[in-house]
Chains A and B, each alone.
Chain A
Amino acid sequence: MTRMLAITTQPIDEAALLSKRKTSSGMGAVVYFLGVVRGEEEGKTIEAIEYEAFQKMAGHQFNLLFDEMAKRWPVESVRLVHRVGIVKVNEPSLWVEVAAPHRGEAFAACQWLIDEMKRVVPIWKKPVGEA
């Protein structure tokens, strides 16, 4: 399974990421997830979310998740970008691509990866500009 991970302060360039998709002829499903900052957090209107990561450990934990994902599903490739720093409302904070032979495993692997990321990867968020 090939993997690409970026934890970055830069805005997520969806078009550039899509243009770099590479899948073999056996892959029939590529699933994408985009996590976008909502305008409300705990009932309060906000302007942005500030993300903080314990970068070294986040990278390691993401790779452990990728390792486990590869054991559970026949995923050919995973690419993931998580922004850190200030991300404004309506901007993406998370981009995930999972390629697998069939849609069932691609959807399942992608959902599992995001659920596990939210459980173990040391990234935190703080609302900015609460009204």
Chain B
Amino acid sequence: MHVTVCFHSYFKDLTGCTETTETLPEGVTLAALYEKLATRFSKLGEMKNSTLLAVGVDYQTRDYVLKDGDEVSLFPPVQGG
């Protein structure tokens, strides 16, 4: 299955891109996707404890099971206002 991964805020600088895709086996969780991304983008791996994860427009926990076509977003803690 394929998922799209979008990076926001300074995660774009850490990874050098705004968007990428990953090809994954069925049943993979967000946690596993994150680990795969961390091997591709080493600076992202350093942010593990402060990375927020969303699928579509909703926050999800790391045990969320991904589906084909999911749009995953990774970003640092928010700072509105």
Query: What is the interface size of chain A, counting residues whose CB is below 8 A from a CB of the partner?
Result: 25
Q: Which residues of A contact B57 (CB under 8 A)?
A: 56-57, 59-61
Contacts of B76 in A (CB 8 A): 124
Contact of A125 with B79 in the complex, beta carbons under 8 Å: yes
The A interface, classified by DSSP as helix, strand, loop or mixed, is: mixed
- When distances are taken between beta carbons in the complex, the residues of chain B under 8 Å from A125 are 79-80
**Tally of B interface residues using CB under 8 Å:** 17
Q: Are B81 and A54 in contact (CB under 8 A)?
A: no
* B81 A122 Cβ-Cβ under 8 A: no
Of the listed stretches A11-19, A22-30, A98-106, A113-121, chain B binds: A113-121
Complex Cα–Cα for A56 and B56 (A): 9
- What are the interface flags for B66-77 relative to A under an 8 Å C-beta threshold, 1 for contact and 0 otherwise? 000000010110
Q: Chain B nearest CB: distance from A111 CB in Å?
A: 12
Bound CA–CA A82/B80 (angstroms): 8
Inter-subunit contact B58/A123 (CB<8 Å):
no
Given that A56-B57, A57-B73 are contacting pairs, would A114 and B81 also be in contact in the complex, using a CB cutoff of 8 Å? yes
B21 at the A/B interface (Cβ < 8 Å)?
A: no
Chain B residues lying within 8 Å of A51, measured Cβ to Cβ, are: 80
Interface code B37-73, partner A: CB below 8 Å = 1, 0 otherwise? 0000000000000001010111100000000000001
B54 in complex: contacting residue of A35, A82, A122, CB < 8 Å: A122
| A–B pairs, 5, beta carbons within 8 Å | A54-B6, A60-B57, A94-B80, A124-B9, A124-B76
Known: A125-B79, A125-B80. 18 other contacts (CB 8 A): A52-B9, A54-B54, A54-B75, A56-B57, A57-B56, A57-B57, A118-B79, A118-B81, A119-B78, A121-B78, A122-B75, A123-B78, A123-B79, A124-B8, A124-B76, A124-B79, A124-B80, A126-B10
A interface residues with partner B (beta carbon < 8 Å): 35, 51-54, 56-61, 82, 93-94, 114, 117-126
B: residues with CB less than 8 A from A are 6, 8-10, 52, 54, 56-59, 73, 75-76, 78-81
